[in-house]
Amino acid sequence: MNVRKIVTLVEETLTEGGRPVEPNARVAVVAAVIENPWRGQGFVEDLTAGIDEAASRVGEVLAPRVVKALGGTVEAYGKAAIVGLDGEIEHGSALIHTLKFGDHFRNAANATTLLPAVEKRGPAGVTFDIPLKHVTDATIRSHHQSIEVRLADAPHPGEIVIALAAASQGRPQQRLAPLSTEQ
């Protein structure tokens, strides 16, 4: 796995709707810009070798960094794979939709649910939103949120941006009733 760079972003919301957010709502994102393991190979029928080469390693690099950047307990989380223009969306999906990748974050966050995800192909500087959901119950509405990310120089055509996002709480000032009230 060839990593060109790692980017860490932390967003802290202090007020929402004209009211203080207490405690402040934190969301952290850590993204690795990696060389696409299938770069220059044409259509690859079996993606196993690239998955084995990179998925676990990139999960192992990102998971502890995003938890550390958040600086507290992870209550919501998500992931992203943004493929450069010379790759396939399936290349990004292959890396993040495997337990070899996701279990690193689930274990670091003491989580049990599947990680919500976004995958897309785009040029350097493409904007993408990482969806987040509660780490143990995806039906908890207060934790359904997203964070917008943009890396000015990534992904290059032969790269993939792999990112993890973690939130310290649900949406600031959330007021929706629990899903169970509508069932």
- For 24, the 3-state DSSP assignment is strand
Query: What pLDDT is stored for residue 62 in this prediction?
Result: 98
The sign of the dihedral angle between the CA atoms of 155, 4, 100, 30 is negative
Q: pLDDT at position 181, please?
A: 76
Please enumerate in sequence order all residues whose Cβ is within 8 A of that of 158, keeping only pairs 6 or more positions apart, or say none: 35, 36, 39, 40, 84, 86, 87
Q: Which of helix, strand or coil describes residue 100?
A: helix
The predicted structure's pLDDT at residue 176? 85
pLDDT of residue 95: 98
Paired tokens of 73: 């307990």
Strands 127-134 and 145-150: antiparallel
- What confidence score (pLDDT) does residue 179 get? 77
The CATH architecture annotation of domain 3-182 reads: 2-Layer Sandwich (3.30)
pTM: 0.96
Residue 100 phi, psi (nearest 5):
-60, -30
Q: What is the pLDDT of residue 177?
A: 78
pLDDT in tens, 59-86: 999 999 999 999 999 999 999 999 999 9
Torsional sign, CA 63, 67, 73, 77? negative
Contact 169, 25 (CB under 8 A): yes
Which tokens sit at 48? 């196993």
User: Which stretches of the chain score pLDDT less than 70?
Assistant: none
Beta-strand pair 76-83/117-121:
parallel
